[in-house]
Amino acid sequence: MKKLLATLSIVFGLVSTPVSAAPSLIPTPPQLSASSYILMDAYTGDVLVSHNADEALPPASLTKLMTAYIIEYELARGNLSFSDQVSVSEKAWRMEGSRMFIREGTRVSLEDLMRGIIIQSGNDASVAAAEYVAGSESAFADLMNQHAQLLGMKNSHFVNATGFPAEGHYSSAHDLAKLSRATILQFPENYKMYAEKEFKYNNIKQPNRNKLLWRDKTVDGLKTGHTEEAGYCLAASAVRNGTRLITVVMGTKSDQARATESQKLLDYGFRYYETRKLYSRGQVVNNAKVWGGSQSNVKVGFAEDVLVTIPRQQGDSLPATLDMTKEITAPIAVGDILGKVIVGTDGNILLEQPVVALEAVEEGGFFKRMFDKIRLFFAKLF
């Protein structure tokens, strides 16, 4: 690789002023009264605060985040529809704990079941949906574990769709944050359900147990959980001024405590950090030389928006360098990786992002290829 630019941010308009010389002053994160917790930037996946975040713990009804995720996954692929009518089994009807009060032998729309899972935390709704998707709750649990593996949830194993206490049923704050992030980014339309404050079914109106939905207008999800073993848990997300954060707090002592402790993390994160967009999808950052091609140059840029999480006191600019492949030869396909951008300093690299071909370049004719080979030979000599 070859370093082409030492001040990419100035050349390509990432920012227009030098990096502030003042250091970033960020206080120690709050210490929460919880067994485990994490604060994550939803857009970048960066972890800002964590405590025992990879410890495997009983997740209680935070399990239903995975139950809902799988339903959303199948909806997105056209395998399910919200209008599907789901038969309620005796097992679903007999479920104890939090319920949406569906009746055995009746048929309930999948959309109502989703609200029952997300808003009312219904164990009966979760089992009915699991049986509909996979044929049985145990088969659905297998599906949950497959999705967990795909999402990189390394400290999770699911035995049921509800979070009802069971041997070998566990997850971690970090894993549940990853799952929450996937839900938010992959299914933004369905995510709106997580902000609904109440749901009425069978003439019974029940409120969402997430107290932050009433206390903080920037909060729009996600899910509560509680068992004697797990304590009081909460996965929450909020968005302020273009920055979205996710918190997962596990093992607090009360409904009030899980909301209060989660609010502490959110307020800390929004006060001291921000998500900044550095480059846009398709933005050209270089017009690179191509050897042996039908054209002499190729536009190089980004396949997706490039975002970074930084302290708010970082200053108005970020140093960036562009490393390009020394010899780029045709043919080139759209999306071929041709180098990378490194944002930050040697002692504090914030991210490395591939730069790709934004256009295809076919091989040139015989004489063009031979001519470029000769030119490249002499270029290497000197």
| Those residues with Cβ within 8 angstroms of residue 371's Cβ, 6 or more apart along the chain or in another chain | none
Q: How far apart are CA 179 and CA 245, in angstroms?
A: 13
CA atoms of 368 and 291, how far apart (whole Å)? 9
136 is catalytic: no
* Distance of alpha carbon 173 from alpha carbon 54, whole angstroms: 6
Distances (CA, A) of 286 to 2, 4, 320, 325: 14, 10, 14, 12
Please say if 64 is a catalytic residue: yes
Residues 326, 2 contacting (CB under 8 angstroms): yes
Residue 289 in marked binding region: no
The DSSP line for 331-346 is: -B-TT-EEEEEEEEET
The catalytic residue among 36, 61, 180, 262 is 61
Please confirm, yes or no, whether 121 is among the known catalytic residues: yes
Find the catalytic residue in 9, 89, 98, 121.
Answer: 121
Is the CB of residue 60 less than 8 Å from the CB of residue 217?
no
Of these residues, 9, 35, 36, 64, which one is catalytic? 64
Give CA separation, 244 vs 180, 247, 270, 334, in Å: 12, 10, 9, 31
Binding residues for substrate, by number, are: 223
Binding residues, by number, are: 223
Query: Catalytic residue numbers?
Result: 61, 64, 121
